[in-house]
Amino acid sequence: MNRIAVMTSGGDSPGMNAAIRAVVRTAIYHKMEVFGIRRGYQGMLEGDIFRMKTTDVSNIIQRGGTMLKTARSKEFMTEEGMQKAYGELQRHQIEGLVLIGGDGTFKGANAFFEKYPIPAIGLPGTIDKDLAGTDVTIGFDTAVNTAVEAIDKIRDTADAHNRMFIVEVMGRDAGYIALNSGIACGAEDILIPELKTDMQSIIRKIKSDQRRKKIVHLLVVAEGDDFGGGMDVKNLMSKELPDADIRVCVLGHIQRGGAPTFADRVLASRLGYAAVNALRAGKKQVMAGQINNEIVFTPFSEVVKQEAQIPEDLKEMTVILTT
Are 210 and 124 found together in one domain?
A: no
pLDDT higher at 209 or 283: 283
Is 163 in the same domain as 176? yes
Residue 311 lies in a domain: no
pTM of the model: 0.92
- Burial of 80 by CB count in 10 Å (0-12 exposed, 13-18 middle, 19+ buried)? exposed
Bridge pairing between strands 164-169 and 246-250? parallel
The reply to whether 128 belongs to the active site is yes
Phi, psi of 145, rounded to the nearest 5 degrees: -70, -35
- Same domain as 118, residue 17: yes
Instruction: With CA atoms as reference, report the closest residue to 131 among 271, 226, 227.
Output: 271
- The CATH number linked to 69 is 3.40.50.450
Domain shared by 179 and 191, yes or no: yes
Residue 2, burial from CB neighbour count under 10 angstroms (0-12, 13-18, 19+): exposed
Question: Among the three residues 225, 256, 287, which one is the final residue of a domain in this structure?
Answer: 256
pLDDT band of residue 215 (cuts 50, 70, 90) is low
Residue 226 DSSP label: S
122 and 8 fall within a common domain = yes
- Whichever domain contains 215, its CATH number is 3.40.50.460
Q: What is the pLDDT of residue 172?
A: 85
- Among 158, 134, 166, 161, which Cα is nearest to 234's? 166
State how many domains the chain has. Answer: 2
What share of the chain in percent tops pLDDT 90?
66
Between residues 24 and 242, the one the model is more confident about: 24
312 domain-assigned: no
Q: What local confidence, expressed as pLDDT, does residue 201 receive? A: 87
* 264 and 147 belong to one structural domain: no
251 within a domain of the structure (yes/no): yes
95-139 residue pLDDT tens: 999 999 998 898 888 889 889 989 999 999 999 988 889 999 999
Q: Are residues 47 and 23 in the same domain?
A: yes
| Structural domain includes residue 233 | yes
- Residue 264 has a pLDDT of 98
Single out the residue of 165, 210, 207 nearest to residue 186, CA to CA: 165
Q: Are 185 and 248 in the same domain?
A: yes
Name the residue range of residue 227's domain.
141-256
* Within a domain: 319: no
Active-site residue, from 128, 130, 189, 225: 128
* 288: in domain: yes
Q: What is the pLDDT of residue 305?
A: 63
Taking alpha carbons only, the member of 293, 302, 323 closest to residue 202 is 323
Q: What is the CA radius of gyration of the chain?
A: 22
Q: How many CB atoms lie within 10 A of CB 187?
A: 24
23 in the same domain as 100: yes
pLDDT of residue 323: 67
Q: Do both 300 and 180 map to the same domain?
A: no
Mark whether 122 and 42 lie in a shared domain. Answer: yes
Cα dihedral across residues 112, 287, 145, 216: positive or negative? positive
- DSSP letter at 138 equals B
In a domain, 187, yes or no: yes
Q: Is pLDDT at 304 greater than 80 in this prediction? A: no
Kindly state whether residue 314 falls inside one of the protein's structural domains.
no
209 and 81: one domain? no
pLDDT per residue over 136-162, tens digit each? Answer: 999 999 999 999 999 999 998 888 888
* Most confident segment among 54-58, 185-189, 204-208: 54-58
